[in-house]
Amino acid sequence: MIREWFKTGAPWVWLNAAAVSLSLIMVFGLLALIAVRGLGHFWPAQVAAIEYVEKGSKQTITVVGEMVEQQVLKPELAKAAGYTPEQAAAGLAQYLVKTGNRDISGLDFRWLLGKDMRQTSYPENLMVLERREWGNFYGYLESIKQSGEVVAQGEGAWADLAIRMQRTLDIFEQIKDIERGEIGTINYQLERLRLKQRKLELENKFDATAKQGLVLQKAELQKKYQALQANLTDLNQKIRRDSLVAKTSNGQQVEIALEKVVLYYQPNAMNVLQKTGHYFRKVWEFLSDDPREANTEGGVFPAIFGTVMMVMIMAVIVTPFGVIAAVYMREYAKQGTMTRIIRIAVNNLAGVPSIVYGVFGLGFFVYILGGNIDALFFPEAMPAPTFGTPGMLWASLTLALLTLPVVIVSTEEGLSRIPKSIREGSLALGATKAETLWRTVLPMASPAMMTGLILAVARAAGEVAPLMLVGVVKLAPTLPLDGNFPFMHLDRKFMHLGFHIYDVGFQSPNVEAARPLVYATALLLVMVIIGLNLFAVGIRNHLREKYRALEN
């Protein structure tokens, strides 16, 4: 009977169906995995206080931290770790606890054995501090100090902390504004003056008048700088005024300056509404802040900015060239073997590995083009390269080349869908070929161009391998766009979401602590790219509908 059944071919059909189901499960499972891990990261986890009997000393200690993971120790490993075979066979549950306080204990994470955990409680007054360095702090607030004097203690301390933190964060913002903004501008201008002087020297025009002018300008900048510096010193003194004293789980008193604290909260005391508020605050911080602690904490704003700007420059470059090439191949070139070969070649280029484009970009754009530009236009900056080093411009150009086939193919497809009758009608009414193209064909093909462009953007946004060679860095000190003339600094290196994932996930000193952030970054990137793709699909469908009507 089974043989009969196999003869009908039904089992094979079922197996084929299973292949589809499996693919779908993999696709959605993957998306769900990223989404759950990425979104879960921002939710304030309960912080547990666990009474734990230490294996060696048999003493009971209290471990405070977030439960991150749990697993059953494999019997083999348990035996290797010195447990009796019975214990091992029973399966030892173990828990990964994020204990923070890296400055005190040296470790962020700790594995606890389930059988040695005595009691787990969630005290409401447990406090979490996110700090600018050394990661999270977990402990109990004891008192607040101002200039070394205790000003609040016990119950009142938490309320007082809120007021003082507000003040400290305000000052911190001011300091950041001055350092990044005004002092940054002055440094930039000083550097430009230096280059100007060097240029004059190279051209042998550095005479007394020029020198005097430069000295005057320099002096003026120095004066401004000194004023700012004084202001800064003042603010720095102010910000150091307050500190808090906290008790860690083992009773140690720790004094933490408020300037080192980014965020403070008592997760166990929060209700759902407060947690939701906290959640969105964290999401906003993630989207809008600079990274901290070797990219393992804080936000990814520079990476978002770098990705978006790179993609935009690329789009500006790739669209006209891609469209012109497509128009040439479809409307002007004689259709024959040659165009067929070119078409195959262009199609195949879409399949050439992206790293090859990266190698080309590095060799041709950076070293040849960039090197020559430096020699011609920026001799004063030598030997420091200006464009002769990987940077924004070269990354955009490389990706433009990489995505050119996408735009060409898509535009060509759009052009080929436009019925001949439309062109002929236009020509019959006396329009020239250029007019026909410009007034009728191109507008009708514009959705196809858009589709191509969006697909190109989606591909470029997710591409990492070539960027590693032509301009991406793990931490860029300045954005490629700022208030200093000429505002757009295409020679600068930049950060990128995709590279951020690679870098934080694989090159970071503390991969375990950074992992949730990588999932969040991955989710962001996936959302951007899937969004763009869905948009492109929508446009394509819309376009098809439109021309189906025309054809009939």
Subset of residues 25 to 64 that bind another protein, contact rule: CB under 8 A: 25-28, 30, 33-34
Task: Say whether residue 427 binds another protein (CB under 8 A).
Answer: no
Buried b or exposed e, range 66-92, using 16+ CB within 10 angstroms: bbeeeeebebeebeeeebeeebbeeeb
| Rounded alpha-carbon distances, angstroms, from residue 353 to 295, 410, 483 | 29, 20, 38
Structure tokens at 288: 């809008």
Q: Which is nearer to another protein, 31 or 190 (CB)?
A: 31
Task: Say whether residue 304 binds another protein (CB under 8 A).
Answer: no
What does the DSSP 8-state code read for residue 12?
Answer: H
Select from 55, 205, 433, 544 the one that contacts another protein (CB under 8 A): 433
Select from 311, 317, 476, 522 the one that contacts another protein (CB under 8 A): 522
Structure tokens at 468: 């590693």
- Please give the residues from 149 up to 208 whose contact with another protein meets the rule CB under 8 A: none
- Please give the residues from 213 up to 252 whose contact with another protein meets the rule CB under 8 A: none
Rounded to whole angstroms, how far apart are CA atoms 139 and 62? 11
Select from 130, 259, 297, 463 the one that contacts another protein (CB under 8 A): 463
Rounded to the nearest whole angstrom, what is the least distance from the CB of residue 340 to another protein in the complex? Answer: 9
Of 259-267, 290-298, 356-364, 444-452, which part binds another protein (CB under 8 A)? 356-364
DSSP string, 103-161: HHHS-SEEEEEGGGEEEEE--TTEEEEEESSS-EEEEEEEEEEETTEEEEETHHHHHHH
Cis peptide before 486, with omega less than 30 degrees from 0?
yes
Task: Say whether residue 344 binds another protein (CB under 8 A).
Answer: yes
Task: Say whether residue 509 binds another protein (CB under 8 A).
Answer: no
Task: Say whether residue 15 binds another protein (CB under 8 A).
Answer: yes
* Number of residues in contact with another protein under rule CB under 8 A: 100
Rounded to the nearest whole angstrom, what is the least distance from the CB of residue 9 to another protein in the complex? Answer: 2
Structure tokens at 279: 């959640």
H or E segment and range at residue 292: strand 291-292
Structure tokens at 218: 């320099």
- Please give the residues from 310 up to 329 whose contact with another protein meets the rule CB under 8 A: 320-322, 324-329
Select from 154, 351, 383, 486 the one that contacts another protein (CB under 8 A): 351
Task: Say whether residue 96 binds another protein (CB under 8 A).
Answer: no
Contact between residue 299 and residue 285 where contact means Cβ atoms under 8 Å apart? yes
Of 48-56, 162-170, 291-299, 457-465, which part binds another protein (CB under 8 A)? 457-465
Task: Say whether residue 428 binds another protein (CB under 8 A).
Answer: no
Rounded to the nearest whole angstrom, what is the least distance from the CB of residue 227 to another protein in the complex? Answer: 41
Of 376-384, 431-439, 443-451, 476-484, which part binds another protein (CB under 8 A)? 431-439
Task: Say whether residue 364 binds another protein (CB under 8 A).
Answer: yes
x-or-dash string of contact with another protein, 465-504, rule CB under 8 A? x--xx----------------------------xx-xx--
Q: Which is nearer to another protein, 353 or 425 (CB)?
A: 353
Residues 6+ apart with CB under 8 A from 119: 50, 51
DSSP string, 450-480: HHHHHHHHHHHHH--HHHHHHTB-S--SS-S
Q: Which is nearer to another protein, 17 or 216 (CB)?
A: 17
Structure tokens at 35: 């989404």
Contact between residue 412 and residue 403 where contact means Cβ atoms under 8 Å apart? no
Task: Say whether residue 515 binds another protein (CB under 8 A).
Answer: yes
Q: Which is nearer to another protein, 6 or 280 (CB)?
A: 6
DSSP-based three-state secondary structure for 343? helix
Q: Which is nearer to another protein, 136 or 411 (CB)?
A: 411
Task: Say whether residue 300 binds another protein (CB under 8 A).
Answer: no
Of 56-64, 158-166, 292-300, 339-347, which part binds another protein (CB under 8 A)? 339-347
Q: Which is nearer to another protein, 382 or 537 (CB)?
A: 537
Q: Which is nearer to another protein, 56 or 351 (CB)?
A: 351
Task: Say whether residue 413 binds another protein (CB under 8 A).
Answer: no
Q: Which 3-state string (H, E, C) describes 65-98?
A: EEEEEEEEECHHHHHHCCCCHHHHHHCEEEEEEE
Structure tokens at 140: 């109990």
Q: Which is nearer to another protein, 53 or 431 (CB)?
A: 431
Rounded to whole angstroms, how far apart are CA atoms 478 and 453? 28
Taking phi over 0 as left and psi of -120 to 50 as alpha, with beta for the rest, 487 belongs to left
